[in-house]
Structure 1
Amino acid sequence: MQDIDSLRYPIGHFAHGSVFSPEELKGQIRSIAEMPIRLTELVGKWGDDRLDTPYRPEGWTVRQVVHHVADSHINAYVRTKLALTEDNPTISPYEEGEWAKLPDYSLEIASSLVILRNLHQRWTTVLESLSEDQLNRTYFHPASQRSFPVSEVIGIYAWHGEHHYQHIYRLAARNGWLQNNVD
């Protein structure tokens, strides 16, 4: 069995404060664009037995992870638009663990997969159009007590999508679900 840290952070921690080249940003935007398709291909035909399996001991279920990614990326999209239209706005943090306990986290995952597909289309349309000045616009995160430039936010959410995709993918690999990726 793997150690708990490698199960929690299968691709490692995000390096906050990173500066990305234009080519790296393009790759990250492409990753954001493709994530909903990859996630749907992985889990879209799974039944409740798989969807209600935690990706690690004391971790969220696959169903909760999918709904969390939709919630998180909705917030990121709104925060990006706030940063682009206001002067370093203070965003509102949220308690993601508490959100995962709300009744909508028991719904079928199709609703969140559809949200992600459409949201990411809109989000990447905005991200692909940004000038260097717009990439440097910021929002203030009160929990972190610092401002985040849009360019770093792109890196964070490319990482975030892959982080959670790998939670699910590696669970599937450990359980032999990849060979016959249905039900």
Structure 2
Amino acid sequence: MHHVADSHINAYTRFKLCMTENLPTIKTYDENLWVQLDDVKALPVNMSITLLYALHMRWDEAIKNLKDEDWQRAAYHPEMKKELSLWYFLQSYAWHGRHHVAQINGLREKRRW
């Protein structure tokens, strides 16, 4: 859950940059290094769940009134070396959240949590 929170914080920032700037270059980050920091090690998982809940409410509010043409706004991804639209980012992060929820549910079932 800490990884999902970190990822979606970055996604929210990318969305807002894309919504307010003309073809911004997004900042990449090393997710493997982020999960080694003390906030991930020291805090319980419910902190990231609470953070995600609030972040997703803000994100939803930010995008709910976008027009069709707004979804074509793009940002440049330096690692992928291409422009990516808000539609792409939305699909990507929706999949990302579902993917990790499925992993967590699989572990809960396997370990009988």
Q: Does 1:69 align with 2:4?
A: yes
Q: Does 1:141 align with 2:103?
A: no
Other structure's SS at 2:84 match: strand
**What does residue 78 of structure 1 align with?**
13
Cα deviation, residue 109, structure 1: 1.6
**What does residue 152 of structure 1 align with?**
88
Which one of 16, 28, 31 corresponds to residue 96 of structure 1? 31
State the Cα RMSD in Å. 0.9
How far apart in 2 are the matches of 1:81 and 1:173? 37
| Pairing of 1:14-163 with structure 2 (within 5 A) | 66-106=1-41, 107-163=43-99
**What does residue 176 of structure 1 align with?**
112
Please state which structure has a larger fraction of its residues in helix.
Answer: 2
Greater C-alpha Rg: 1
Cα deviation, residue 134, structure 1: 0.8
How far apart in 2 are the matches of 1:104 and 1:146? 32
* % identity of equivalent residues: 40
How far apart in 1 are the matches of 2:86 and 2:21? 12
Taking structure 1 as the reference length, the TM-score comes to 0.59
Pairs aligned (count) = 112
Unaligned runs of 5+ in 2: none
How far apart in 2 are the matches of 1:111 and 1:129? 29
Q: What do residues 77-136 of structure 1 show as CA deviations (whole Å, max 9, x unaligned)?
A: 010010011011001100000111111111112221111111000101122211111100
Taking structure 2 as the reference length, the TM-score comes to 0.95
Q: What do residues 8-40 of structure 1 show as CA deviations (whole Å, max 9, x unaligned)?
A: xxxxxxxxxxxxxxxxxxxxxxxxxxxxxxxxx
